[in-house]
Amino acid sequence: MGENISVQVTHKGLVQAAVPAGRTEVVLPKGSKAIDLLSLLSNEHGPRYAQAIFSPRGNLLPTVAVLINGQRAINLREAEINAGAEITVVVQAYR
């Protein structure tokens, strides 16, 4: 069986309302990418969260930003998350 890692996730912007605590601990398989984390969070927090992150076709919305240890992850399909990472998910409103 694969090894798991634990990370802290802070939710800001439009997703904050879908996560009452604002901050959660998430367990992921080692080697997970930022996009994997967003998929897991969407499944855990329901349709309201998922609709703020992904389009109806499953594409990441342009208003989503993921910070890993304070640095913005540019390519979420390649940005690996390490154990103990501090993740911030920010979803801005359209202008």
38-53 tens-digit pLDDT: 999 999 988 988 999 9
pLDDT at 94: 63
How many structural domains does the chain have?
1
**pLDDT surpassing 60 at residue 16:** yes
Query: What's the rounded mean pLDDT across residues 62-77?
Result: 94
* pLDDT, average across residues 64-87: 95
CA torsion sign for 79, 7, 31, 57 is negative
Percent residues over pLDDT 90 in the chain: 69
1 confidence band (pLDDT: 50, 70, 90): low
Question: How far is residue 80 from each of residues 17, 20, 47, 83, measured CA to CA in Å?
Answer: 26, 26, 25, 10
- pLDDT score, position 14: 81
Q: Using CA atoms, how far apart are residues 49 and 91, in angstroms rounded to an integer?
A: 10
- Confirm if 10 and 23 have CB atoms less than 8 A apart: yes
Provide the 10 A C-beta neighbour count for residue 3: 8
* CATH, residue 86: 3.10.20.30
Sign of CA dihedral 82, 83, 88, 89: positive
Domain range holding 55?
4-91
